[in-house]
Amino acid sequence: MENFIAYNPVKLIFGRDVVNARMKRELSVFGSNVLLIYGKGSIKRNGIYSQVLTILKESGKNVFEYGGIKSNPLCTDAQAAVQLAYENKADMVLAVGGGSVIDTAKLVALCSPANDHVWKVMKGEVKPARALPLVSVLTLAATGTEMNQFAVLQNPDTGEKIGFGSPLVYPAVSFLDPAYMVSVPVNYTAYGIADICAHLLEAYFGEGDAPLSDKWVFAIMRELIEVGEPLLKDPGSYTLRERVLWASTQALNGTTLHGRKSGEWGVHDIGHTISFLYDIPHGATLSVAYPAWMKHLLPHIQQRLKTLGENVFGVNDPEKTIEALTHFFRKISCPVSLAELNLQDKKSEILNLMIKNKVSGMHFKLTEEDLLRIVGLM
């Protein structure tokens, strides 16, 4: 194992009706001026918006809103929200939505105190000294952002979609009510599950020996395999929603990485490129890219694939592990080829942007030749 620091200060409040039960109390320690950030309006249709607004009013908060955050969120939206927070002297940021909304809110919380330039902060060119406290209410199980220090935004001007991490952007409090997810459409539920799988694999294929973290990866993956298909058949099930939701948080809250030198993240980089070009949901790009990445890297990851297969899929051959993963993605109706996304003719375009953006992994560095072959396998 490598030396590591285990630290995650997020207070995560999980379960049925937790927003009504605890939000007022948790908000009481923060100031009165609240910037509320949300997405395209689904929270207005399902009642979460009015529930939260009632609590904010009863708490005596002054609320100003920035709605309309889209999936594959833009730094330009974050910048506009920073402006709003700065002008209104926001004391805290409240994000109500999925990963896109919370990721946006993380940068808003970080850039608002000094009205900083969001993309420069993302790029590490500006380093804010502090952030506003961030409270999140999650409405989609997938990215794990509710309990980590990461955010991913894209820049429509430069053609980049990149990740950012800082201990300053851990949410102070996150509310996770599985009942909020029962109205998530089946396809987005499935993409979320593919994303969770990919997070586990990005940890597992990282650098360094971390036997207990490996076992934790296997445990969460088996949990997903147990509940994934049943949930898609019964999307209204609270019990299945809560299991996927909790797996989702655990898959990317740092606990799968303890003792490793790094994660891998090459497949996420590939997926971000496809999402950027064609606005494909994140998880749907990962279920296409992971099997292709594995097939191409096979000679280098034989033993890792074998161990994964033995512990998760009950197979004992590296190629069978890839088949089993592909089969699982298919069973939950996630695409496993570019053709299924109607992108079979776009391989050159995808390759060119990957090369331009220097797409690579952290452990297995990908050359242009590697990228060419991986795209060929997708």
User: Does 147 engage in binding with a second copy (CB under 8 A)?
Assistant: yes
Contacts (CB under 8 A) with a second copy, residues 16-45: 16, 18
For residue 299, give both structure tokens.
């000679």
Site for a second copy (CB under 8 A): which residue of 136, 250, 273, 275?
250
Interface stretch with a second copy, choices 112-120, 158-166, 240-248, 268-276 (CB under 8 A): 240-248
CB contact burial 310-334 (16+ within 10 A = b; e otherwise): ebbbebeebebbbebbbebbeebbb
Neighbours of 239 (CB within 10 A): 11
Residue closer to a second copy, measured from CB, 29 or 339: 29
Site for a second copy (CB under 8 A): which residue of 95, 220, 225, 378?
220
Sign of CA dihedral 344, 142, 105, 118: negative
User: Does 8 engage in binding with a second copy (CB under 8 A)?
Assistant: yes
Site for a second copy (CB under 8 A): which residue of 247, 280, 284, 288?
247
CA 191 vs. chain centroid, Å, equals 11
Rounded to whole angstroms, the Cα distance separating 237 from 227 reads 11
Residue closer to a second copy, measured from CB, 18 or 334: 18
Pairing assessment for the beta strands 160-165 and 150-155 based on DSSP bridges: antiparallel
What secondary structure does DSSP assign to 332-351, as a single string? TT---STGGGT-TT-HHHHH
The helix (H) or strand (E) run that includes residue 138 is: strand 134-138
| Least separation in angstroms between CB 311 and a second copy | 10
Interface stretch with a second copy, choices 9-17, 69-77, 190-198, 329-337 (CB under 8 A): 9-17
Residue closer to a second copy, measured from CB, 233 or 365: 233
| Least separation in angstroms between CB 115 and a second copy | 28
User: Does 211 engage in binding with a second copy (CB under 8 A)?
Assistant: yes
For residue 19, give both structure tokens.
């927003």
Pinpoint the alpha helices (H) of 64-185.
Answer: 75-87, 99-111, 118-122
What secondary structure does DSSP assign to 227-279, as a single string? HHHHHHH-TT-HHHHHHHHHHHHHHTSSTTTTT-SB---HHHHHHHHHHHHH-
| Least separation in angstroms between CB 259 and a second copy | 7
Residue closer to a second copy, measured from CB, 7 or 125: 7
Residue closer to a second copy, measured from CB, 48 or 322: 48
User: Does 243 engage in binding with a second copy (CB under 8 A)?
Assistant: yes
The amino acid at residue 183 is S
Residue closer to a second copy, measured from CB, 19 or 85: 19
Site residues (CB under 8 A) for a second copy? 1-16, 18, 147, 211-212, 215-216, 218-220, 222-223, 226, 239, 242-243, 246-247, 249-250, 255, 258-259
